[in-house]
Amino acid sequence: MGKPEEPYILMVVETYTESGSGLHGDLHVRPIAGQSISPNLRVRFPKALRRAHPRGTRFLVYAKLTDKVGGNDFVHTNHAWDVEVLGPPPAGDELRYKKKS
C-alpha cells in the first residue's frame, strides 16, 4: 500500500550478511543504529552498489519507511538518486562521518 505521508530522510545504511533468509541472496542492507529508523528493518537498495563494495560498507542515502499490502515495514531508497559511499564504519561514534567537500 505504501506510506505516502512518510517523508524521505537522509540516513546511513550498511551492508551485512544474513544466510538462509529466503530473500535475494545473502548480502542485505539495514539502517545503522542510533537513527530514527530501526536497524531491524531491511532496506530496498540497488543490488549493483551492494555487490560493488565489501560487506560492512556504509552509504548515505535518502530513504523512507514504507510497506506492501499485507507485508512488513521496510525502508525504500530511490534507485535513481545519488548515493554517497562512506566506507567502513569508523572507530568510535558510529554516526561520526566527515562529508567530502
Residue in 24, 26, 69, 64 with CA at minimum distance from that of residue 43:
64
Domain range for 69: 9-73
Place of cell 540516513: 11
Please indicate, yes or no, if residue 55 is contained in any of the structural domains.
yes
Please indicate, yes or no, if residue 94 is contained in any of the structural domains.
no
Please indicate, yes or no, if residue 87 is contained in any of the structural domains.
no
Mean pLDDT of 44-71: 87
Structurally, the chain folds into a number of domains equal to: 1
Look at residue 97 and tell me whether its pLDDT is greater than 90.
no
> What is the chain's mean pLDDT, rounded?
81
Cell of 10: 537522509
Please indicate, yes or no, if residue 65 is contained in any of the structural domains.
yes
What pTM value is reported for the model? Answer: 0.78
Neighbouring CB atoms inside 10 A of 75's CB total 23
Q: What percent of the chain has pLDDT over 70?
A: 80
pLDDT attached to residue 91: 62
Look at residue 82 and tell me whether its pLDDT is greater than 80.
yes
What are residue 72's phi and psi, to 5 degrees?
-90, 165
Please indicate, yes or no, if residue 89 is contained in any of the structural domains.
no
Please indicate, yes or no, if residue 79 is contained in any of the structural domains.
no
What CA–CA distance (Å, rounded) separates 60 from 52?
Answer: 15
Q: What is the DSSP letter of 52?
A: H
Please indicate, yes or no, if residue 49 is contained in any of the structural domains.
yes
Cell of 43: 532496506
Please indicate, yes or no, if residue 97 is contained in any of the structural domains.
no
